A and B are shown apart, each in its own frame.
Chain A
Amino acid sequence: MADQELTDRVRELINENQVLLFMKGTPSAPRCGFSMRTVQVLDQMGVEYGAIDVLPALQPLREVTSEISDWETFPQLYVNGELLGGCDIIEEMFENGELAETLGVEQPAEAEPAAAEAPAGEAPYQSPPMKIEGT
């Protein structure tokens, strides 16, 4: 049974942030390859997103996301209050253009198969990492 206070806090964050990533580490210092790959995809999309480092409270957060989303592994990307997927789903949706559609943005040029050279990327928009303290 997941901690009720933490569950409420997570639900609040999911509802308050249109795009929210639960990850291991932070966007500037990911601590897991899958989290890093998800950040790289999001940064290419040019959307603002919130990021939460799950490592300080890994097990309690697993229990919470298991309960609210039936998903225990991280990263997890939430869009408009719904779990969209982990790294493999996000990468697949990025490649086939579904992610851009879901986020309501243009598919970045780098994702086009014909793109010769990636243009100098803009600095990613990104809110400062939020913290959930371990319980």
Chain B
Amino acid sequence: MAADLIELKGMIETALPGSTAEVIDETGTGDHLRAEVSAPQFEGKSRIDQHRLVKAAVRERFDDGTIHALTVKVLD
């Protein structure tokens, strides 16, 4: 099942209030995605913690197998 990019964008922006997210399908197969996120919650956090916040926001879609890979790009 292909991921719903709009849904994922919404999940990230809901989990991180004040953030903006763009989710891009990198391979055209709907399961290898790239999220470009800017969020006030990133302030003062290490890269790994920033990525954890984003992944946690869409965990449900990892767990149900919709997404296999999500590259995170943090926009400062």
Contacts and interface: CB of A to CB of B under 8 A. Distances in A.
A85 B48 contact: yes
Contact of B47 (A71, A73, A93): A93
Interface in B59-76: 69, 71-73
Interface of B: 47-48, 51-52, 69, 71-73
A130 interface: no
A89 interface: yes
B52 A85 contact: no
A80 to B, nearest CB: 12
Q: In the complex, which of the residues B48, B69, B73 has the most CB atoms of chain A within 10 Å of its own CB atom?
A: B48
Interface residues of A, number: 11
Contacts of A88: 71-73
A84 B46 CA distance: 8
B48 A89 contact: yes
Main secondary structure of the interface of A (DSSP, over half): mixed
Contacts of B52: 70-71
Contacts of A73: 69
Interface of A: 70-71, 73, 83-85, 88-89, 92-93, 98
Contacts of A85: 47-48, 51
B49 to A, nearest CB: 9
B48 A83 contact: yes
B73 to A, nearest CB: 8
Q: In the complex, which of the residues B47, B52, B69, B73 has the most CB atoms of chain A within 10 Å of its own CB atom?
A: B47
A88 B52 CA distance: 13
Contacts of B69: 73
19 contacts: A70-B52, A71-B48, A71-B52, A73-B69, A83-B48, A84-B47, A84-B48, A85-B47, A85-B48, A85-B51, A88-B71, A88-B72, A88-B73, A89-B47, A89-B48, A89-B51, A92-B47, A93-B47, A98-B47
A82 B73 CA distance: 21
